[in-house]
């Protein structure tokens, strides 16, 4: 039996990659998406619930209300933006949730499906609602643009040879768990400054500013927030 020529394998692989692409809102960039959205959402909800069981929610009612208020404002802006651009289907299975965790870490992240966590340690840097909206808009933008999904897909492709997620979970559970942690910032000391590619950060900045402006916050405060964040990072790495 003749073996299949290498160039045929390569062609099939390229067709597979092209078929496994989605489009980022606003920029229209094609991105790798090997993992079905339903699978990512299911994993997200499980991981989020597990995280909340293992971490203490803030007892500061005023700060908690602020996090939920800003979160819902950004949520409404995201839903309106996506509806205006005929992309509401991308959010149809979202179950938005906004929680403030008691921690000194300067951290924030958003999992697929609108599962957001803000760490209390970042609030002195955000200073007020508008500053928090910068963080929330940026992190939610990463989720809406499916940057974590893209990074997870890239990781599966590189580290497991493109195994389906279900297969990777069964045969390489620790590798898969680490890929998830890296893709969505769990365990990172500064989640809002995760080492996403510059392309991802630019997309999240652009979308995040749009979302916060639509939610009624002044996007110009982002400049001062990022200056404060940069100063905090320089102190952390001294």
Report d(CA 212, CA 218) in Å as an integer: 7
Please tell me what DSSP assigns to residue 193: G
Is 139 labeled as catalytic in the residue annotation?
yes
Q: How many residues does the chain have?
A: 238
Rg of the chain in Å (alpha carbons): 19
From the list 48, 55, 40, 81, the residue with the least C-alpha distance to 209 is 81
Q: How far is 72 from 215, CA to CA, in rounded Å?
A: 9
Residue 234 corresponds to which tokens in the numbers above? 């320089």
CA distance linking residue 114 with residue 106, whole number of Å: 20
Cβ burial, residue 30 (10 Å; 0-12/13-18/19+)? exposed
Whole-angstrom Cα distance, residue 234 to residue 158? Answer: 32
Q: Is 117 helix (H, G, I), strand (E, B) or coil?
A: strand
- The dihedral through the CA atoms of 31, 162, 182, 144 has a sign that is positive
**Active-site residue (options: 139, 201, 203, 232):** 139
Give CA–CA dist 111/29, Å, rounded.
Answer: 21
Catalytic (active-site) positions = 139
């Amino acid at each position: 039996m003749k073996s299949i020529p290498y160039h045929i394998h390569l062609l099939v692989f390229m067709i597979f990659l092209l078929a496994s692409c989605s489009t980022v809102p606003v920029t229209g960039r094609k991105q790798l998406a090997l993992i079905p959205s339903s699978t990512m959402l299911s994993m997200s909800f499980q991981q989020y619930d597990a995280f909340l069981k293992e971490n203490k929610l803030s007892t500061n009612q005023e700060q908690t209300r602020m996090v939920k208020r800003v979160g819902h404002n950004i949520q409404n802006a995201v839903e309106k933006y996506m509806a205006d651009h005929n992309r509401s289907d991308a959010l149809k299975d979202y179950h938005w949730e906004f929680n403030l965790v008691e921690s000194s870490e300067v951290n924030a992240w958003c999992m697929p499906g609108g599962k957001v966590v803000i760490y209390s340690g970042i609030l002195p840097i955000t200073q007020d609602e508008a500053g928090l909206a910068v963080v929330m808009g940026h992190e939610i933008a990463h989720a809406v643009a499916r940057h974590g999904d893209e990074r997870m897909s890239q990781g599966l492709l590189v580290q497991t040879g493109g195994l389906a997620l279900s297969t990777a979970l069964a045969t390489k559970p620790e590798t898969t768990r680490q890929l998830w942690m890296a893709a969505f910032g769990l365990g990172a000391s500064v989640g809002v400054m995760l080492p996403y590619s510059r392309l991802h950060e630019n997309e999240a900045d652009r979308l995040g500013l749009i979302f916060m402006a639509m939610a009624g916050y002044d996007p110009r405060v982002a400049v001062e927030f990022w200056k404060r964040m940069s100063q905090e990072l320089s102190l952390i790495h001294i």
